Amino acid sequence: MEKERKLRKPKATLNEVSTSEEGLRKNYTRATFIIRKDLLFKIKSISYNDCKLIKDVINKLLLDGIVQYEREKMNKDNNHKK
């Protein structure tokens, strides 16, 4: 028996702004994540110590982590090709 598909509100068109993007700069959106309490405490501590917004600290940490991941992935892929 097939599951019934829930009806969803259509996605915003390119010209419309979704509610998660209202009031934000271009290329930004709101998102909710579940993280460990100890990591949140460290992020808040970094933010406080460096006088930066939590969102800026999180963006920097994510960017650094993605760059590191991609670098490691490329090295791994290049080693397999040899």
Q: Are 52 and 61 in contact (CB under 8 A)?
A: no
- Per-residue pLDDT, 1: 56
Predicted confidence pLDDT, tens digits, the chain (82 residues) = 566 777 776 666 666 678 888 888 888 888 999 999 999 999 999 999 999 999 999 999 999 999 999 999 888 877 776 6
Q: Are 47 and 39 in contact (CB under 8 A)?
A: no
Q: How far is Cα 66 from Cα 9, in angstroms, rounded to an integer?
A: 32
Q: Residue type for 48, please?
A: Y
